[in-house]
Amino acid sequence: MSIQKDLKKEGIQIITKLDSLISNDICKNVSRRIIETFPDFDFTQDDLYQKLLELTMYRAKMIEGMSEANYYYKDSSIYFNENIEYSDIEEFAIHECIHHLQKVQDENGNLLKLGLCNYNNLKPSALALNEAAVQYTSSLIIGIEPDYEKYYGISLFTPSPSYYPLECSLLNQILFFTGTDSLFKSTLFSNDDFKNKIIELSSEKTYNTIIRLLDEILKHEEKIVILNNKIKLLEDGNSKIDKINVKIDLIKDKISKLYIKAQNTIIKEFFTSEFDKIQELEELEHFRRKLYKYSDIIGSIEGYDYYDSFYIEMMNKLEHKCNILENGGTETALYRKRLNPIIMFLKKLFKTKKIQKEDS
């Protein structure tokens, strides 16, 4: 009875149970595709297949705008939107099957962990980061190509253009520093490798700030779905529609600001931490190239100039650190070498790249 209430609360109404032959094929194919994508991980296809056979799959009516498939951990079930073509079900199943593999419960059946997401008295932390991680992993398994998109006034580059695009865009920026190995291990084995990697390369405060901002973005996106469905219940011309649209626009603006705040946090904290660790000229050169290349993956809104300002600030600091390293690690207040020609070149290159990007 509790499960039915929970499903109703999420706007899910069961239509029919998926044919066992179809669900078994889904489990078999998903397990195969995971193995093919991650051949070096401690998986066997048979073990994965047996684990996924625990799932029950249903066709259901769902609120428009929500996920096309939904995993519910209490009854180990996946609910597919009735509007999905049967030929597309498997690809939607991959995301939800990964959620099932992530599930960690105590002896009483209470959910403790779902991948990167921790549950404390059923209150999730890092829920949005985990959704982004699962979608990023699913996109890799399916073979979705990253692309440039525009959402909520933000022009961004995302590995998942259609699902969780903002969250995946920000995750992609974090992966620029961490690499993907710890992400995939935490996503598929529900450990803290990725969390610890983020903290190692920035700080625990930075990690907590990022997951909080991501969770807020996800909550606001869910609010927009609810409001859009309220509009659909109203007749054209109803005065309430304009009021709801005003609310939606305000929420979109909040999402845009949260995204930029999260992005700026990632830029500042990760690059600053890496800069502080530079001890050799070779590391300095690597940092320069990395800082320049980062502009390819950032999101931007009208009037956004944080990255440009940060770039110029860091280039000046690099020049100073370069002088120190070339001077044998000795810093003198009176001695200042001429501007390093490599830095002069990179500053000009950055300006040219910025103009080309704006023109395109």
Average pLDDT, the chain: 90
* Tens digits of residue pLDDT in 94-117: 999 999 999 999 998 889 999 999
Provide the pLDDT for residue 77: 97
* Tens digits of residue pLDDT in 129-146: 999 999 999 999 999 999
| Average of per-residue pLDDT across 319-324 | 89
Provide CATH code, domain 1-101.
3.30.2010
* Tens digits of residue pLDDT in 192-218: 999 999 999 999 999 999 999 999 999
Provide the pLDDT for residue 355: 54
Confidence of residue 338 (pLDDT cuts 50, 70, 90): very low
Query: Is 80 exceeded by the pLDDT of residue 358?
Result: no
Query: Is 50 exceeded by the pLDDT of residue 125?
Result: yes
Question: Which residues face 82 on adjacent strands?
Answer: none
* Tens digits of residue pLDDT in 213-240: 999 999 999 999 999 999 988 888 788 9
Query: Is 90 exceeded by the pLDDT of residue 330?
Result: no
Provide the pLDDT for residue 344: 53
Whether 260 contacts 301, CB under 8 Å: yes
Provide the pLDDT for residue 89: 95
| Average of per-residue pLDDT across 273-295 | 95
Geometric angle at alpha carbon 126, from 135 and 6, rounded to 5°: 80
- Helix/strand/coil percent split, the chain, to 5: 60, 10, 25
Query: How many residues in the chain?
Result: 360
- Residue in 183, 156, 153 with CA at minimum distance from that of residue 167: 156
CB atoms within 10 A of CB 270: 22
Query: Is 90 exceeded by the pLDDT of residue 328?
Result: no
6 contacts: CB under 8 Å, gap ≥ 6: 72, 74
Provide the pLDDT for residue 258: 98
| Average of per-residue pLDDT across 152-160 | 97
Distance of CA 184 to the CA centre of its chain: 13
| Average of per-residue pLDDT across 289-315 | 96
Write the single-letter amino acid at 28: K
Which residue blocks in 38-72 are alpha helix, DSSP H? 45-52
| Average of per-residue pLDDT across 310-318 | 95
Q: Secondary structure of 10-43 in the HEC alphabet?
A: CCCEEEEECCHHHHHHHHHHHHHHHHHHCCCCCC
Provide the pLDDT for residue 289: 95
Provide the pLDDT for residue 335: 39
Ranges 140-144, 273-277, 344-348: which has the least confidence? 344-348
User: What percentage of the chain exceeds 90 in pLDDT?
Assistant: 77
Provide the pLDDT for residue 238: 83
CB atoms within 10 A of CB 305: 8
Query: Is 70 exceeded by the pLDDT of residue 346?
Result: no
Whether 175 contacts 197, CB under 8 Å: no
What residue ranges do the domains of the chain occupy? 1-101, 106-276, 278-360
Residue 156 is inside which H or E element, if any? strand 154-158
3-state secondary structure of 55: coil
